[in-house]
């Protein structure tokens, strides 16, 4: 029987993550990194299904999130905006080293970061008596980024299939798609049909399929389901197609979605959450003051004035929470 000890640790995943970002052109979205690492690791379904006993999170996916965040903390990746990562000069320097030296460099960075964190927390009570191994502890960045998503996905999964279809069509309409609900018996695998704007003077006929799969399941939508939807969309005369699920897609499904026409835009649970947040549909964005942002105004040096000019146009003074 597979156990968590059969999985790579978050440290083991640092170098693979940097390699995948480089392979993707030096930058990548969160989902792209996760899918690329999973495709390279090619874990069995049994390993992929392993969960933490307390939180219920999938261990491997959580460790990938932890490792990605650590790459950012170490300075090997930077995050110019939410959900997008960029390989830094330090990251490229590490990748240029022989593998054993690259691993040792990452180990040094982890030690330096841990030492800094211990010094900062030296005045805090110790939880050593109750702590599990480091890969079982929830990563602060990962937990903050996923808690509201988990709550949203759970609520969407609790809806009836028809209600979820109505919600998805409503969300897509908020992006100016003109859609008609055609779900039900005889729908040939299509839940919505209509027109998607491409530009002010161009549009395309689009077909939509909605799958209310359990977001907690480790099984993803595969190539065959995407191919069947492509066939149904083509029969309906669609030039583009959109498939929406609360779960995930396998790497083979993503390749199939772009292999023939009509091409299918795949929206998984994570991307669905991003779209909901973008449109503020069913969630509340709460402003949060960031006191440290205003520190830069305390100094009159030319260097700080340059920083102010460079950043004052960004929305750095608010944090979106749900």
DSSP characters for 223-248? Answer: HHHHHHHHHHHHHTT-SEEEEEESS-
For position 272, what pLDDT does the model report? 93
Predicted TM-score (pTM) of this structure: 0.61
What's the pLDDT score for residue 317? 35
Residue ranges per structural domain of the chain: 4-121, 153-279
Give the three-class secondary structure for 131.
coil
Distance CA 267, CA 249 (A): 9
Per-residue pLDDT of the chain (322 residues; tens, 9 = 90+): 888 889 999 999 999 999 999 999 898 888 889 989 999 998 988 888 888 888 788 899 999 999 999 999 999 999 888 888 999 999 999 999 999 999 999 999 988 887 777 776 665 554 443 334 444 444 544 455 568 888 999 999 999 999 999 999 999 999 999 999 986 644 568 999 999 998 888 899 999 999 999 888 877 899 999 999 999 999 999 999 999 999 999 888 999 999 989 999 999 998 999 899 888 888 888 888 878 778 767 755 444 444 433 444 343 333 444 4
**CATH 3.40.50.1980 corresponds to the domain 153-279:** no
* Nearest-5° Cα angle at 318, 312 to 322: 155
pLDDT at 76: 94
What CATH topology corresponds to 4-121?
Arc Repressor Mutant, subunit A (1.10.10)
> In this structure, are residues 51 and 63 in contact, taking their beta carbons and an 8 Å threshold?
no
User: Cα 83 to chain center, whole Å?
Assistant: 6
Residue-level pLDDT at 159: 94
Q: Is the peptide bond before 205 cis (omega within 30 degrees of 0)?
A: no
């Amino acid at each position: 029987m597979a156990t968590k000890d059969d999985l790579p640790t978050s440290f083991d995943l640092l170098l693979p993550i940097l390699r995948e970002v480089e392979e993707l052109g030096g930058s990548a979205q969160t989902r792209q990194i996760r899918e690329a690492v999973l495709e390279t690791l090619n874990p069995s379904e049994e390993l992929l299904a392993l969960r933490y006993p307390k939180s219920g999170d999938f261990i491997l996916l959580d460790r990938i999130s932890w490792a990605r965040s650590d790459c950012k903390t170490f300075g090997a990746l930077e995050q110019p905006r939410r959900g997008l990562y960029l390989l830094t000069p330090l990251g490229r320097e590490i990748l240029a080293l022989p593998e054993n030296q690259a691993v040792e460099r990452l180990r040094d960075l982890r030690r330096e970061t841990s030492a800094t964190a211990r010094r900062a927390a030296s005045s805090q009570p110790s939880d050593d008596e109750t702590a599990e191994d480091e890969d079982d502890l929830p990563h602060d960045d990962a937990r903050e980024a996923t808690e509201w998503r988990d709550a949203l996905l759970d609520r969407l999964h609790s809806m009836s299939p028809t209600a979820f279809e109505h919600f998805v069509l409503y969300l897509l309409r908020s992006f100016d798609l003109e859609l008609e609900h055609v779900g039900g018996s005889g729908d040939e695998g299509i839940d919505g049909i209509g027109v998607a704007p491409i530009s002010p003077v161009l549009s395309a006929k689009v077909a939509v399929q909605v799958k209310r799969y359990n977001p907690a399941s480790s099984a993803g939508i595969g190539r065959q389901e995407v191919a069947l939807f492509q066939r149904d969309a083509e029969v309906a005369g669609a030039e583009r197609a959109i498939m929406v699920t609360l779960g995930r897609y396998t790497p083979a499904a993503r390749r199939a979605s772009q292999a023939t026409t009509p091409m299918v835009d795949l929206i998984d649970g994570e991307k669905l959450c991003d779209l909901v947040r973008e449109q503020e549909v069913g969630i509340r964005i709460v402003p949060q003051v960031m006191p440290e942002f205003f520190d830069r105004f305390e100094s009159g040096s030319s260097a700080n004035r340059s920083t102010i000019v460079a950043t004052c146009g960004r929305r750095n003074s608010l944090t979106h929470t749900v």
